[in-house]
Amino acid sequence: MMLASNTLNLSRAQVMAIINLTPDSFYAQSRNLTTKEARCSVERAVADGATIVDLGGYSSRPGAQDVTVDEEWRRVRLGLEAVRSVDCGVVVSVDTFRSEIVRRAVCEFGDIVVNDISAGELDAQMIATVARLGLTYVAMHMRGVPETMQSMTHYESGVVCSVVDYFRKRAKQLEDAGVMPERIILDPGFGFAKSAEQNYELLTHLSALAELGYTTLAGVSRKSMIYRPLGITAEESLPGSLAFAWEALRGGARIIRVHDVAPTRQLVDLFNHYNG
């Protein structure tokens, strides 16, 4: 049995559930190391109102260590098997920057959304692979690699202009390569090669990215930009995460990527209701 068709309905804001399949993700409670754990997390996410589940087998937290393609695939495959066993019709996203993972996933499981933290910068074959397979593609802004990105936070023209200019050029490259514009999703990459102050500036001016005309995704859930200024831990940062999610929606985000589906689903439903 193949996965359900990954056609996203973005007429209203959607909730993407983070399903980490790594032993070192920054938020320990999000880790799923067995098929049973992954299946339970997928079932709970869907029951709580997620319309997209995002499976990640490679931790992208600052300072994260590299893993082999085969080890990443073992983890991702575990997650894909879990989704397939639940048979819930949810849209499935795979969080990877490696085109080989994308090829293996589509070959064995069918259509997926690709969520690439590097916007194709770390694998020269990624964009061509996505275009050839006709997949929806999330391109995130980042500099360097997870081990080095936090040393690359200087933006000559300011972080907002730099990110918007980057995506204006990158989106054109994606379209020129054959990726349909309606299948391009842009993620400003909160916390990736950005200081806390730059993250706040990006959030304040997120509408500048949405004005490019592509779907915008925001991932702010339980990140250090929320809990460090408050002197708390990631485990204590749900209220701040919800506040930042609301601001992202006000800035034009149509997908909110989160650890906590149920409260975010309520927030998104209220936002959709408030905005008609």
Q: Catalytic residue positions? A: 223, 257
CA distance 50 to 187: 18
Distance (Å, rounded) from C-alpha 71 to C-alpha 264? Answer: 31
Q: CA torsion 100→101→106→107, rounded to 10°? A: 60
Joined tokens for residue 84: 């397939």
8: left (phi over 0), alpha (psi -120 to 50) or beta: beta
Question: Residues with Cβ < 8 Å from 47, sequence gap 6 or more?
Answer: none
Which residues have CB under 8 Å from 55's CB, separation 6+?
A: 19, 21, 76, 79, 80, 83, 92, 93, 94, 95
**What's the sign of the alpha-carbon dihedral 104, 105, 110, 115?**
negative
Give the single-character DSSP code of 63: T
Contact 133, 179 (CB under 8 A): no
Using an 8 Å Cβ cutoff, are 208 and 216 in contact?
no
Neighbours of 55 (CB within 10 A): 29
DSSP state, 231?
Answer: T
For the chain, count helices (H), then strands (E). Answer: 10, 8
